[in-house]
Amino acid sequence: GAGVSQSPSNKVTEKGKDVELRCDPISGHTALYWYRQSLGQGLEFLIYFQGNSAPDKSGLPSDRFSAERTGGSVSTLTIQRTQQEDSAVYLCASSSSSGSYSGNTIYFGEGSWLTVV
């Protein structure tokens, strides 16, 4: 597609359940990012994938959070045993990382709104 696509757009889940959030980056973009944004807050970096390199997982808040990127394209963010504090918007983004300065511009999806009840 033309932009970063995320699904589901909204998810309500019960505490303790696992959830999977999907991201389809812009075609040809080698870099993919996941951020979390709580209501009225800034962007919290979670994880970064670049090509075939090992992902930067330094932002994952706990071992309940994991992400994978298959075939260098689609990514899935998994949250196990969800807690109420996991409620937030999960934003996926991608960039071309072409080596030029403009390759650093990050393009965001509309986000997946997660509510844990």
Partner 1 sequence: GESVGLHLPTLSVQEGDNSIINCAYSNSASDYFIWYKQESGKGPQFIIDIRSNMDKRQGQRVTVLLNKTVKHLSLQIAATQPGDSAVYFCAESRNFGTGTSLTVIP
Residues that bind partner 1 (CB under 8 A): 4, 33, 35, 40-43, 45, 48, 91, 93, 101-102, 104-111
| Residue pair 42/103 in contact by the 8 Å Cβ criterion | no
* Smallest distance from partner 1 to CB 92, Å: 8
As measured in angstroms, the least distance from the Cβ of 91 to partner 1 is: 5
Which of 74/108 has CB closer to partner 1? 108
Our CA angle for 84, 86, 91, nearest 5°, is 145
Closest separation between CB of residue 104 and partner 1, Å? 6
Q: Are 96 and 103 in contact (CB under 8 A)?
A: yes
Residue whose CB is less far from partner 1, 70 or 102: 102
CB-nearer residue toward partner 1: 41 or 66:
41
26 close to 6: Cβ distance less than 8 angstroms: no
Task: Indicate the SS3 state at residue 116.
Answer: strand
Q: Least CB distance from residue 80 to partner 1, whole Å? A: 25
Strand partners, 86: none
